[in-house]
Each structure stands twice: as structure tokens, then as C-alpha cells.
Structure 1
Amino acid sequence: MQGGDPPSAASPTFSCLQKAVVSLHPEWDRLLERDNVTLRCQGAQAEGNSSTRWWHNGHLLPSRNSNHVIASASVNDSGEYTCQTGLSNLSDPVQLQVRAAWLLLQAPRWRLREGDPLVLRCHSWKNVPVRNVQYFQDGRGRRFSYRNAAFRVPRASGVHSGSYFCRGLIGKLNVSSEAVVVLVEALAISRISPGRLVLLCLLPGLLFAVDTWLYCSMRRGLRSLLRNRTNDTVTWRKSLQDKQEQ
């Protein structure tokens, strides 16, 4: 590791350590110019050393605090952020996008699992008032409000995947945000309890064992039946011969 280059997560020196975690406060990963955001780095620290290192697009930042504050963001603040504490591996990257626009669509997450809540927010530059806000999915209107209310779906499903944008009035200006894709993934296996999953894995083996037992049982029964029939035939023939000799 030389200069300001971030360390490799695969380096043997750090292989036994857990990764640091970067979180956003507020939670939006898409911002407008002049917005404020704080990036927090969570990870184990060495005793007596609480310094944290931050990288932006691979370049080491001067900040050594666990919180990296971006006040009055600009487009140049867009990009990939990573961090590392004294006793942690390099964190997974967090992408931050800063746009120069009147309106911006925001969400806590753009990739959801089926059943998760979907929340979209139509955010305006410097939080100026927006009226007659409408949300669109794949070009079709989904929600309208005279005031700027959020678009919420308590339990999202596959039908809620698509391209979303919002539109509203700022003064007399009719403006729209850029479109963003929301993906709702259907993971059927997540609905199966661990006990049922184990049972499903064991079921083929159980069925094979039962089939084998039945097959062996039937073979033993058939052999016994044939043996009994042979003995009955021999006995009947001996009895008939005894009568003829008398």
C-alpha cells in the first residue's frame, strides 16, 4: 500500500478483519446541488487511535473523522466513497450522485425484494415549494398530490419495477425530474422457512429409503410365498401317493 491508494480488501494483512461500513445521513444517494449530506464510517478502532481514512474515487481525502460532511454539495462531489478504520478492512463503495436540476427523484433503495416498502420522494432544489406533484411509472401516472407528498407502496411486488420520474409546478414553471429505474426482485426461496428447506433437501433421500425398504420387503414376501407353495405341493403329492399305496 503506497501513497493515497486504498488498500486491497484481499490483502493477507487485513484478511481477518471485518469490513467497515459507509452510511448516508440523510439516506438519499442522489442529491441536488447545495444539498447537505454526512457520510459515516462504522468499523472497529485500535485502542488510542480513532482516526478514519476516506477515499473519493480512489483519492485519499484529508478528513480523518468517522463522519465526512459534505456541505452545499456540487456535481464534483459525485462518485464513489470508501472508508477504513484502524481495525477494519476497506468498506464496500457507496455511490453518490449530485445533479444540477430543479427536481430530483430520491429513494432509500432502488433495488428491493418483493414485500419491501417502496418509498419515492420528489425533491426540489433548495427545497423550494412544489405544487401539483405527479409520479410516473413507465410513462403512466401513478400518484397525484396538490402538495409534495411522497409516493409509498407498503409491500412492493414485481409490478412495481420500472422507470420512475416526478413532475410538478415550481411557481409557474412546469418541471420534471430525470427517470430512475426501480427493481423489485422476487425471491421465492426467501419465503421458505429453514425447517422446510431442510425437509425439502432430505425428502428425496427419505423417499429413496422408503422405496428400497418396500422393494426388499416385497421380495422377501414373494420368496416366502413361493417357498410355502412349493412345500404345499410336495405335501399334497406325498398324501396322494400314500392313498394310492393303501
Structure 2
Amino acid sequence: MKKKQYIPPSFRAAIRPAVTFSPNYKKILTTETITMSCDGGSTIGGGPNYIWYKDNSPVHNGKSYIIQSAGTSDSGSYRCQTRPGEISDPARLDVSDGWVILQTPLYVYEGDEINIRCHQRLGYFGGRTRFYKDNRVIADWTYNAEYYIGNVDGTTAGTYRCGKQIPGQNIYYDEASVSVEGKSRISYIRIIWQHLYTDGVTLSPDRPSVIITLAE
């Protein structure tokens, strides 16, 4: 059976695009690779064209933007824009030339399960790791380089820090702040955009709301 679903005039705001990272960390080391994707966007004019901006300057066209062998100059605030003008919120990428970095997800939402990773430079063996939250030890010299947090809530927010032993060298530290947002809109964007795109629905200025048919 199929049912009709009404899409109100405010729908376009609900599918404003969003930037996602793969791997899903907002900090990486130099020489590493990251893929940025632009999820969502309206279908006005027959489908989106994508423009990427770094610190408000255009840098790439296409749904995905791949940075290979990243350098510190790739650090910055990234946005994607779809035709005819919807633009995402900024997504901050930091590229470090250090020995150890603490990696946290780009977005953290209530109800998520996340891993915080104490990551060392490629080619070097990482020894034991200690994790802190707000200056309190939460995992003491473990051989696991990741700290798992299940069912994220408001108490998850805070400043995290890790120390990692690099055999033959020193203990290196890094820290990162984690903020927790409400329910994720990324999955909602993907679901709605998929329905619009696969059903061939086009929004236009003289057609501010449409009916789409969804399989039940």
C-alpha cells in the first residue's frame, strides 16, 4: 500500500545540507586522508550542484571533497552549498603535526554511542593510554587507545584529555572539548533527501509545497 505525505512550505529549511567527515573525527594528523560529504539540499532546479568553501573561499565542486596527505594549512572551517543557495553550518577540521592527538566525532548527539581515540602518528607504536575528563582520570594506563561512551547525554559534555606512551620517547598529551547537541538531524536529512531524489520530486518557486508518494 502507498500513502501520500504532505511536504509543507517550510520543508526546504528542514533539508539544509550538512557536512559529514569520514573518518568521523574533527582532528587528524598531517599526511592522513579525510573525506568530507555534503548531505541533503533541496531539489529546486532539478537537483543540487555542490560547492565547498574553506574559511569562506571556494575550494571544490562536487558532493564529496577528499583531502589527501593533509597539511596544517588544511585546517579550517568548511561549508558546503547546494544550488540554489542552501548552505551548511560550518564544520571545523584541525590538522596537527604533533605526535599524539585526541580524536572526537564531528557531531555528538544525545543517545549516540561514541569512541574517543588517542591516536599516534603512523609508523610509531603506541603504548599505554590514560584518559581524563575535566581533569579526572576515567581510564588509567590502558592498552586500549579508544574510550567508549554509550548513550550520550548532557553529562558527556566536557574537556577530554589523553596521554600516550610512545616507546623510546616521551608521554605525549592532547585534549579536545566535546559538546552534546539534541537529536541528530543528519539521518533525517538523508531519509527525506532520498525520498525526494528517488521519487523525482522537484520543488520550484511556484510550487512551494508538494505531495510525495512513499512506499509503506
Structure-1-length-normalised TM-score:
0.59
In structure 1, distance between residues paired with 2:20 and 2:107 = 15
Change (3 A) 1:59 1:160: closer
Q: SS of the residue aligned with 1:76?
A: helix
Structure-2-length-normalised TM-score:
0.66
Q: Which runs of 5+ in 1 are unaligned?
A: 1-14, 187-246
Q: Does the aligned pair in 1 maintain the 2:164–2:173 contact within 8 Å? A: no
Match of 1:214 in 2: none
Deviations 1:81-138 (A, max 9, x none): 111122451111111111121111112257554x543421111122632111111223
Query: With CA pairs under 8 Å and 6+ residues apart, which has the higher RCO, 1 or 2?
Result: 2
Match of 1:119 in 2: 115
Q: Does the aligned pair in 2 maintain the 1:44–1:88 contact within 8 Å? A: no
Q: SS of the residue aligned with 2:53?
A: strand
Match of 2:171 in 1: 175
Match of 2:198 in 1: none
- 1:28 corresponds, among 25, 30, 33, to 25
Number of positions where the alignment pairs a residue of Structure 1 with one of Structure 2: 170
Deviates more, 1:159-168 or 1:21-30: 159-168
Tell me the percent identity.
26
Amino acid at match of 2:173: S
Match of 1:102 in 2: 99
Match of 1:52 in 2: 50
In structure 2, distance between residues paired with 1:110 and 1:143 = 23
Between structures 1 and 2, the one with greater helix share: 1
Q: How does 1:151-170 map to 2 (within 5 A)?
A: 151-156=147-152, 160-170=156-166
What is the CA-CA distance between 1:149 and the residue it aligns to? 3.2
User: What is the CA RMSD across the aligned residues, in angstroms?
Assistant: 3.0
Between structures 1 and 2, the one with greater strand share: 2
Q: SS of the residue aligned with 2:24?
A: coil
Q: Does the aligned pair in 2 maintain the 1:34–1:126 contact within 8 Å? A: no
What is the CA-CA distance between 1:74 and the residue it aligns to? 1.1
Match of 1:39 in 2: 36
Deviations 1:189-223 (A, max 9, x none): xxxxxxxxxxxxxxxxxxxxxxxxxxxxxxxxxxx
